[in-house]
Structure 1
Amino acid sequence: MEYQKLSNGVEIPMLGFGTYQLKPNEVADAMKGALDAGYRHFDGAHIYGNEVEVGKAYKASSVKREDLFITSKVWNEDQGYDKTLAAFDKTLSELQLDYLDLYLIHWPNEDNFQLSLDTWKALEKIYKDGKARSIGVSNFSEDQLKQVFDMATVKPMVNQIERHPYKVQKELGDFDAANGIINEGYSPIGHGHLILEDPTINKIAKDHNKSAAQVVLRWQIDTGFVVFPKSSNIDHVKSNFDIFDFQLTDDEIKSINALDKDEHLNYD
């Protein structure tokens, strides 16, 4: 595993396992497969509707809690100071945990950004109380981050954004890095059929004797992004983890960067 250090010194694994769209009845097998394959970083959220099952999977594992890095997020409807604190406590209860490694604001409130700023104040309290080892945001723009900076006593440590070869996010990624914020990329291989058939990526894959998905995940990490692909297919779960025995050249990274279409595959 490779790691980055957050601004407060906490180490975050560069590769994790995503729990988005995992149905409750899929969680146990998928999580066991991921843990057995070596994953120790798990990205979740209350809105995914599976935190109870995810919590049971942690409990069923023999992996020590201190060896895991666990993320969750506060959903839009739970934003606001008091509601966020209550939502966090519910997430801890459902996951059967005493603390999280990272807690994020899932989306900025576009209609009332003050609500998101109040939510950030709640995250600061959670952090200062030792209930989350780190805090951050997701889907925040440069302008929105600046508004958080203006009122924060603790700056966001992470910004989780959509990121894949067709949405490279160079400007926002550079802004985050310049401000001590670690970038996380969701949908890291896009939606398979769109990106994994790309001729440029497949040529690089052939040169390294790797799959297209492995190349894209390696590109993410080589460019500084923490990623967490999701799959309920155990073979894919294992294959996605097998990316630490090669690196891309500068030219290969540039050729993948050049595929950028500024194309959202998710909500903009």
Structure 2
Amino acid sequence: MSIPAFGLGTFRLQNDVVIHSVKTALDVGYRVIDTAQIYENEAAIGQAIAESDIARNDLFITTKIWVENLSKDDLITSLKESLEKLRTDYIDLTLIHWPSPGAAISVAESMQALMEAKQQGLTRQIGVSNFTIDLMQQAINAVGAVNIATNQIELHPFLQNRQVVDFANTHAIPITSYMTLAYGEALKNEVIQAIAMKHQITAAQAVLAWAMQLGYAVIPSSTKRDNLVSNLDAIKVTLDEDDMMQIASLDRNHRLVSPEGLAPDWD
């Protein structure tokens, strides 16, 4: 099994806004939806999917277990609640959203609980998010690299996270990039704008294509139909070696997401 290269992110989208985004995305061809327990939008997404005419087996749904639910006693119960909200019998991919603050719950305990959820058929694949090299090694020790479908991390032209990526690649763990457009900062960059102009594409398409050509899955979000269509068309874009090198040169370890009390000691 593998992680689809392109999907819809739903962070910060709730209620009617997320319903509209998901319905529009499904209408224009999206089939991958990324959510999380802490986004508080699983029920709205479940409604949007139920009101669409897309068969469940044509969709790939990812959710993430919140830190309060990482213990072996709570993880599966919380995942079943997510299933009810999403109106589905199974999740395609379930991730640990953030490592347990202060390592209150071990990575091993959470990963083994995820494996149990997989064995029960509640989720088809499992993985991690916001994991450092050390945390990935702990996850590998717990369940084996073969059972870790992805590490979903902040990754964009200004934070290319090469140490984590290299470690993941060594163990054949795919990377999912979130915040790929750097909250829109990447779209204003002159280098990226020049590449977009050269190929007659949007700046967003240039960045998304860059990430996918490096082998990363991407999950950009939007509430606008035109942007949803345009972003999805990034799948068709191919950048040349010079383009890739220019974007590689933009890395400056510019991290946008590092919540106090949740963030691990970053590599």
Q: TM-score range by the shorter chain?
A: over 0.9
Equivalent residue letter for 1:117: A
Match of 2:12 in 1: 21
- CA-based RMSD: 1.3
Match of 1:150 in 2: 141
In 2: Cα distance, 1:11 partner to 1:262 partner? 29
In 2: Cα distance, 1:160 partner to 1:116 partner? 16
Unaligned runs of 5+ in 2: none
Q: 2:220 aligns with which of 221, 229, 240?
A: 229
Q: Per-residue deviation at 1:212?
A: 0.6
Equivalent residue letter for 1:219: W
Q: Secondary structure at the match of 2:61?
A: strand
Q: 1:58 aligns with which of 30, 43, 49?
A: 49
In the alignment, does 2:107 pair up with 1:92?
A: no
In 1: Cα distance, 2:14 partner to 2:50 partner? 18
Q: Per-residue deviation at 1:113?
A: 5.5
Q: Per-residue deviation at 1:116?
A: 3.1
Match of 1:4 in 2: none
In 1: Cα distance, 2:165 partner to 2:108 partner? 21
Task: Please report the TM-score for the alignment, with normalisation by the length of structure 2.
Answer: 0.93
Q: Secondary structure at the match of 1:104?
A: strand
Match of 1:245 in 2: 236
Q: Per-residue deviation at 1:235?
A: 1.4
Q: 1:135 aligns with which of 119, 126, 135?
A: 126
Q: Could you tell me whether the CA contact under 8 Å between 1:80 and 1:116 is conserved in 2? A: no
Q: 1:126 aligns with which of 112, 117, 126?
A: 117
Q: Secondary structure at the match of 1:147?
A: helix
Task: Return 92-101 or 112-121, whichever deviates more.
Answer: 112-121
Q: Secondary structure at the match of 1:165?
A: coil
Equivalent residue letter for 2:126: I
In 2: Cα distance, 1:27 partner to 1:112 partner? 33
Q: Could you tell me whether the CA contact under 8 Å between 1:165 and 1:216 is conserved in 2? A: yes
Q: Could you tell me whether the CA contact under 8 Å between 1:148 and 1:155 is conserved in 2? A: no
In 2: Cα distance, 1:215 partner to 1:97 partner? 35
Q: Secondary structure at the match of 1:242?
A: helix
Q: Could you tell me whether the CA contact under 8 Å between 2:69 and 2:78 is conserved in 1? A: yes
Deviations 1:14-48 (A, max 9, x none): 01001111121212211111001111011000100
Q: Secondary structure at the match of 1:247?
A: coil
In 2: Cα distance, 1:247 partner to 1:32 partner? 28
Deviations 1:125-161 (A, max 9, x none): 0112222111000000011111222222563221000
In 2: Cα distance, 1:126 partner to 1:161 partner? 23
In 1: Cα distance, 2:55 partner to 2:16 partner? 24
Equivalent residue letter for 1:210: I
In the alignment, does 2:29 pair up with 1:38?
A: yes
Q: Secondary structure at the match of 1:13?
A: coil
Q: 1:191 aligns with which of 164, 173, 183?
A: 183
Overall identity of the aligned pairs, in %: 36
In the alignment, does 2:4 pair up with 1:47?
A: no
Task: Return 57-66 or 154-163, whichever deviates more.
Answer: 154-163
Q: Per-residue deviation at 1:61?
A: 1.1
Match of 2:172 in 1: 180
Q: Could you tell me whether the CA contact under 8 Å between 2:7 and 2:32 is conserved in 1? A: yes
In 2: Cα distance, 1:120 partner to 1:150 partner? 10
Structure richer in helix, relative to its length? 2
In 2: Cα distance, 1:81 partner to 1:116 partner? 11
Task: Please report the TM-score for the alignment, with normalisation by the length of structure 1.
Answer: 0.93
Q: Could you tell me whether the CA contact under 8 Å between 2:70 and 2:105 is conserved in 1? A: no
In 2: Cα distance, 1:73 partner to 1:158 partner? 12
Q: Secondary structure at the match of 2:24?
A: helix
In 2: Cα distance, 1:195 partner to 1:70 partner? 27
Q: Per-residue deviation at 1:166?
A: 0.2
